[in-house]
Amino acid sequence: MPQINVGDISLNCFDAGGGPPILFVHGFPLDHSMWRQQLDVFAASYRVMAPDLRGFGQSGATGGTVLMEQFADDLAAMLDALSVTEPVVFCGLSMGGYVGWQFFKRHRSRVRALIQCDTRAIADTPEGVANREKLARLVLENGTEPVAAAMLPNLFAAATTPIRQAVIEETRQAMLRTNPEGIAAASLGMAARPDVAAELATIDVPTLLIVGEHDRISTVDEMRSIATRIPGSVLSVIPDAGHMSPLENPDAVNKAIAEFMATIR
Ligand code: MLT
């Protein structure tokens, strides 16, 4: 996959298909492969781009704190480097969704529509911030293993089938191979992310919200409250899925995305 120079680092980006562009932005602490059930399906009708964010997957990393604003600016620089001038449908999951709010705010003219999956608009509580700081220290001192152990139990609905168990194991492997410096920097960046709840009313592009019915991190109620604030937005609740709905119930997620894309073509 091509490495795209965005200034101080380069980003690894899946880029396939043709037609209106969709940008898939992964969650924490994962990489573009979390969209593997979507990429080829949508590349049949759209140009599909799915980068590894700064510090994740095969992309370059920087230490310290990486703000959601920085991730958003990296994506805009990546689109410039790829000569993508047509506004994109931005599809982010969880941390990818936090980046989505900032991408909309900072690069409004580049956004055709938003698909925000299993994400939140409010900032962290003080306890949440403390947990992020703890996780940043933990991963720098002890590596990715304890991060995977701490995070995995909250990401998925019950592992009742062998297929689900395989998906969980693949996700664990993605976490284990992530750069600890990248995880720490994004964790501190999420801790510092702004509360955007009051800005949701200004979103004036078509917006689809997707949430797994069993999501324990960004619950259905929380996503419903985001939906009520974004004018004209649509909420799709995905059965038999938790926080990782695109991996857990790809058929239902792909149907929701395809139907939404049909309405904006
Ligand atoms: C994610 O899936 O990106 C994370 O759960 C986001 C978070 O920790 O808030």
Distance 251 CA to ligand 1 centre (A): 22
Query: 24, 28, 31: which to mutate for ligand 1, most atoms within 8 A of CB?
Result: 28
The two three-digit tokens of residue 4, written as one number: 């795209």
Separation CA 38–CA 170 (nearest Å): 16
Q: Is 186 exposed, middle or buried (0-12, 13-18, 19+ CB in 10 A)?
A: buried
Separation CA 262–CA 254 (nearest Å): 12
Distance 260 CA to ligand 1 centre (A): 24
> What's the pLDDT at 162?
84
Amino acid present at 225: S
Q: Given the CA of residue 244, which atom of ligand 1 is nearest to it?
A: 2
Q: Given the CA of residue 124, which atom of ligand 1 is nearest to it?
A: 9
Nearest CA to ligand 1 atom 7: 95
Q: Do residues 113 and 207 lie in contact, with contact meaning Cβ atoms separated by under 8 Å?
A: yes
Q: Given the CA of residue 190, which atom of ligand 1 is nearest to it?
A: 9
The two three-digit tokens of residue 13, written as one number: 């980006």
Q: Is the pTM of this model over 0.95?
A: yes
DSSP of 64-78: S---HHHHHHHHHHH
The two three-digit tokens of residue 202, written as one number: 């200004």
> What's the pLDDT at 114?
98
Separation CA 77–CA 73 (nearest Å): 6
Domains of the chain, start order:
3-264 (3.40.50.1820)
Beta pairing, strands 21-25 & 47-51: parallel
> What's the pLDDT at 160?
77
> What's the pLDDT at 147?
96
Mean pLDDT per block of 10 residues along the chain (265 residues) reads: 92 98 98 98 98 98 97 98 98 98 98 98 98 97 96 89 90 98 98 98 98 97 98 97 96 98 92
CB-facing half-sphere around the CA of 90: CA atoms within 13 A: 31
Distance 104 CA to ligand 1 centre (A): 19
Distance 19 CA to ligand 1 centre (A): 30
3-state secondary structure of 121: coil
Question: What lines the ligand 1 site, CB under 6 Å?
Answer: 27-28, 94-95, 190, 217, 243
